[in-house]
Amino acid sequence: MSSFSTTFVDVLIVVVVGYLLGSIPVANLVARRRSAIDLREVGDRNPGFWNARETLGKWAAVPVFVGDLAKGAAAATVAVLIADPGVWGVAYVATGAAMIGHAFPVFARFVGGRSILAFVGGAAVFAPLSVTIGVGVVLVVFAIARSFAWGSRVGILALPLIHIVLEGPYRTAAMGVLMTIIGIRFAMAALTDRKRAAQP
């Protein structure tokens, strides 16, 4: 089999596996087990960690945090294990597939979250040093502002700047593509909120 065919098969496998992993509706599974509610119908209607935290409580949302991180990390790990080590982009593709699965999950009527934790989980595999420094930024901001939300925002914004220093422009551009998925999801959520607000 040619190297091109091998690479194509690798990419196809990681896309399918990544999407299916991302499609596991961790937040809703946890919410239904604990309170028999659907996070898509309460709070900000986002079936992810933050809505789970606000709706179920801080400790009840811990499995959601871990599970959503694990989806991205598992997808990227599969890519690292099966792809040619020289084809670094496959791990980014796998993470993107998991993010799309999280946002549009086949196991949850294609209504999912914003993919932030799936992104971070994948990035922890393909860019561990960047993510470690980014987590440090989160902790510093949290210590100063006493706000996890602000720490997370600053950490996410700092991540590509850290990544370009450590990994260069090409990998940072790939990371930027993944972060664009998050931006699109936030824009879609804002549009949905406006439509709901406009309804009589």
Q: Is the pLDDT of residue 118 over 90?
A: yes
The pLDDT score that the predictor gives to residue 4 is: 45
* Close Cβ partners of 28 (under 8 Å, ≥ 6 residues apart): 38, 39, 40, 47, 108
Name the pLDDT band for 86 (thresholds 50, 70, 90). Answer: confident
Closest to 163 (Cα-Cα) out of 139, 137, 144:
137
Tell me the pLDDT of the chain averaged across its residues. Answer: 90
The pLDDT score that the predictor gives to residue 42 is: 86
Q: Is the pLDDT of residue 197 over 90?
A: no
Q: How many CB atoms lie within 10 A of CB 5?
A: 9
Name the pLDDT band for 3 (thresholds 50, 70, 90). Answer: very low
> Which of 92-112 are b and which e, b meaning 16 or more Cβ less than 10 Å from the residue's Cβ?
bbbbbbbbbbbbbbeebeebb
Angle between helices 116-126 and 128-145 in degrees, nearest 10: 130
CA distances in angstroms from 119 to 27, 40, 50, 172, listed in the order given: 16, 21, 15, 14
pLDDT in tens, 119-174: 999 999 999 999 999 999 999 999 998 888 888 889 989 999 999 999 999 999 99
pLDDT in tens, 40-79: 888 888 898 889 988 888 898 999 999 999 999 999 999 9
Tokens of 93: 């593709």
Q: Is the pLDDT of residue 1 over 90?
A: no
What is the C-alpha separation between 182 and 15, in angstroms, rounded?
18
> Among all chains, which residue has been given the structure tokens 């811990």?
62
pTM, 2 dp: 0.90
Across the range 80-100, mean pLDDT stands at: 91
Q: What angle (nearest 5°) sits at the alpha carbon of residue 26, between those of residues 62 and 105?
A: 145
Across the range 185-193, mean pLDDT stands at: 86
Name the pLDDT band for 200 (thresholds 50, 70, 90). Answer: low
pLDDT in tens, 17-31: 999 999 999 999 999
The pLDDT score that the predictor gives to residue 148 is: 81
Q: Is the pLDDT of residue 2 over 90?
A: no
